[in-house]
Amino acid sequence: MQFWSQTYIPTLKESPAEAEIESHKLLLRAGLVRRVGGGLYAFLPLGKRVLDNVTEICREEMNRGQAIELLMPAVIPTEQWKEGPRWNAVREVMFQVISAGKDAKVPEEPQYVLGPTHEEVITPLIGSEISSYRDMGKTFYQIQTKFRNEIRPRYGLMRAREFIMKDGYSFDANDEDAEATYHRIAKAYDRFFARCGLDFISVEADAGIMGGAFSHEYMVPAEVGDDDVVYCQECGYSANVEKATSGLVPRDIVDAEPIGELEKFETPGAKTIEKLAQEPYNIPADAQFKTLLFVGDEKLFVVVVRGCDQVEEAKLSSLGYQLIRPATVDEIFEAMGAYPGSLGAIKGTLKDRSKLDGIYGDEALRLIGNGVTGANEKAMHVKNVNVRRDLDLDRFGDFRKVQEGEPCPKSGQPLKIARAIEVGHIFKLGTKFSENEKFGAMFDDADNKSQAAVMGCYGIGISRTLQAIIEQSHDKWGIKWPWSVAPYQVVITLLDPDLEEAATLANTIGVAAEAAGASVLVDDRAERPGVKFKDADLIGIPLRITIGGRGLKNGVIELKWRDEDDKQEVAIAKATSIIASAIREKASN
């Protein structure tokens, strides 16, 4: 049992100005965390207890999923990252450490980085230990502080510069075994998030710079989420918007024939899709070709989509680029001979085609058939542009962002889009890291031939999960912790803490509650009942037991579950057995 007066729970009546969303406000008001700097938070005693509970559930389910816990350093030699495949893509989000010691050969160069994740560490570590196919079939994980130099840290623990993460890595001898491991860990994730009391969904996701055959994200639906989830209520299809596809373009679509010769026309002042859709031009957005330029790994390339569509930049990684950004105005003019607002990809109209690494068209362009695009001349556009005849495309692909209401690729029913918080991500990596010449993980197979281990990686945001629980489980009074992660599962509120009879009864009930499996907090503060009740609701303890006042004179105590409106009076003589039974039932559920 823990007495409130002997711990530290600094609750706040008002929300600090720094907090924008409810879960962030409640983290601060309930005394779980305090801000130290931008994206940096200290966990106070109550928050540390919740963090430990979430961590232990994660550990139990990873162990149950046949994963083995280890611990790697958070400070990693920069050279180890430079030897890997992701240095250029992630260096900007890593904290780099300059050593001032005697080992610093070039003081102005960073000798170390703070680990945002550990593929570049685990691969050579395990690669140096394994030699035979008999050593394979192992999954390792750690629960550790990670560091990412977020440009705009916000929403408390949701997007922080320092956070707690579970990262796991699997090494298998072949693709079939790797896929079996992937699904086994996915089931461990399902159990973990369910035990944390979360309403979650697993969605297809873009592998991004991690690469690999496929990946899934674990999402918690919430209006404040940073991600959009596309889903179908009919068949259960779901994917992150970065990965989602739709059935908008029929598989049996027949490309339109040209309807006339190309014809230029003047469009003074019409530099946007919206302007061309208005008087006097009246060209619908879905009949316009939008030409956009990007830089991928320092190479300029073009993507053409319909005027009514947006490019989903994550999908551009399918073109083989790791680091992608929009091209600058100067880069665009150098290659196209025109500025944004007049761009087009018609054959023979580009200033210097050799400066472009490729020109790619979204599949949905085929729905236009014949449309309007920029002429690569100021205030000029071209009509009767036929997709097949006129556009200078290297190939088609899926580059657009799916929109709500489009047909599901599986059922054909309208797709829906909802906001969500990403709390976990799993990848089937393949051999991207293990076949690296400088730090790979190779082994000899049964025929004594050298093979690269087939890897997977698995992440859970532990501290982000904590806040996601609050975001999904709260009301106007405060947090409503699920039983499994609550900092204390029972709070015994003493209305008359100086009354010996009340204190003795609180001790008896507390001992019985702990014996039944609950953690107990006794509110022995010399505060008004209203203050105690509000604080109990604010910090979200699942079961409140009130002792004192008229109830004690009448031989009863009061039980109140945080997620229920009704209160229950229980005779003191039967209190311990009733409470113990209720706790065992709650724990079993």
**Nearest of 586, 564, 459, 476 to residue 197 by alpha carbon:** 586
d(C-alpha 426, C-alpha 186), whole Å: 8
Per-residue DSSP letter, 284? -
Q: Are the C-beta atoms of 228 and 420 separated by less than 8 Å?
A: yes
Q: What is the pLDDT at residue 213? A: 62
> In residues, how long is the chain?
589
Q: Any idea which fold 263-397 has? A: YbaK protein (3.90.960)
Q: What are phi and psi of 325, to 5 degrees?
A: -145, 160
Q: What is the pLDDT at residue 100? A: 66
Per-residue DSSP letter, 402? P
Query: Which residues of the chain form CATH 3.40.50.800?
Result: 488-588
Q: Provide the token pair at 160.
A: 């922080």
Q: Are the C-beta atoms of 140 and 133 separated by less than 8 Å?
A: no
Report the 10 Å Cβ neighbour count for 468.
Answer: 29
pTM of structure: 0.86
Per-residue DSSP letter, 232? -
3-state secondary structure of 576: helix
Query: Which residues of the chain form CATH 3.30.930.10?
Result: 22-245+418-470
Q: Where are the alpha helices (DSSP H) in 128-253?
A: 175-195
Q: What are phi and psi of 530, to 5 degrees?
A: -60, -40
Q: Are the C-beta atoms of 216 and 202 separated by less than 8 Å?
A: yes
The CATH code of the domain at 488-588 is 3.40.50.800
Q: pLDDT tens digits, the chain, 589 residues: what are they?
A: 999 999 999 999 999 888 989 999 999 999 999 999 999 999 999 999 999 999 999 999 999 999 999 999 999 999 999 888 888 878 888 999 876 665 555 556 788 999 999 999 999 999 999 999 999 999 999 999 999 998 889 899 999 999 999 999 999 999 999 999 999 999 999 999 999 999 999 998 876 544 456 789 999 999 888 889 999 999 989 999 998 999 999 999 999 999 999 999 999 989 999 999 999 999 999 999 999 999 999 999 999 999 999 999 999 988 988 889 999 999 999 999 999 999 999 999 988 899 999 999 999 999 999 999 999 999 999 999 999 999 999 999 999 999 999 999 999 999 999 999 999 999 999 998 999 888 889 999 999 999 999 999 999 999 999 999 999 999 999 999 999 999 999 999 999 999 999 999 999 999 999 999 999 999 999 999 999 999 999 999 999 999 998 889 999 999 999 999 999 999 999 999 999 999 999 988 8
Q: Any idea which fold 22-245+418-470 has? A: BirA Bifunctional Protein; domain 2 (3.30.930)
